[in-house]
Homo-oligomer: A and B are copies of this chain.
Amino acid sequence: MAMLTTTDEHGSLHSRPMATIKPGKDEALYFLTDANSAKVYEVKKDSQVNLSYSDSGSNVYVSVSGKANAYRDQAQIDELWSEPMRAWFPQGQNDPNINILKVTIEKGEYWDTPSSLITQAYAYVRAVVTGEPSKDDDVNQHAQVQPK
């Protein structure tokens, strides 16, 4: 599950959980959504979005900045459809309210913070001993990727 953040018409930032279907072959992530939902309205006004993935158990965090585009394409809906989605679209994949929400990835970042208490204790002790703050190196992994 991703949290999708969009900007509303007043400039306020909102997020909501979205089930990621699959990474596309084209540097994009795809979702199915209701054509009448607030997020579709919002991305039509301002296409910049963020997708965040959090796994607090393993302390892994991902941020994806991108441009979202909502549209209807029956062939693509057929390809993305899976039967459990019927809970949200009872008419099935031909439900006229289904829109594809495509997020074209502009930038991705991830943080991989080892959750082990020993590693955290090490970071703490090292900071105390060396006076150097925890950096995005051995203790906290942080990387950025951009397509192309």
- Listed in ascending order, the chain A residues whose CB lies under 8 Å from chain B are 1, 3, 5, 7, 11-17, 48-50, 52-57, 59, 61, 63, 65, 83-84, 86-91, 106-107, 109, 111, 113, 120, 123-124, 126-128, 130-134, 139
Contacts and interface: CB of A to CB of B under 8 A. Distances in A.
Number of copies: 2
Contact of A132 (B50, B65, B90): B90
A3 B109 contact: no
18 contacts: A7-B7, A7-B48, A11-B48, A12-B48, A15-B63, A16-B61, A16-B63, A16-B109, A17-B61, A17-B111, A54-B54, A54-B56, A55-B56, A87-B124, A87-B139, A89-B127, A90-B131, A91-B131
A64 to B, nearest CB: 9
Contacts of A55: 56
Given A86-B124, A87-B124, 6 more contacts: A1-B61, A16-B109, A52-B54, A53-B54, A87-B120, A90-B131
A111 B131 CA distance: 42
A61 to B, nearest CB: 4
A1 to B, nearest CB: 6
Most buried by B among A52, A55, A120: A52
A8 B91 CA distance: 41
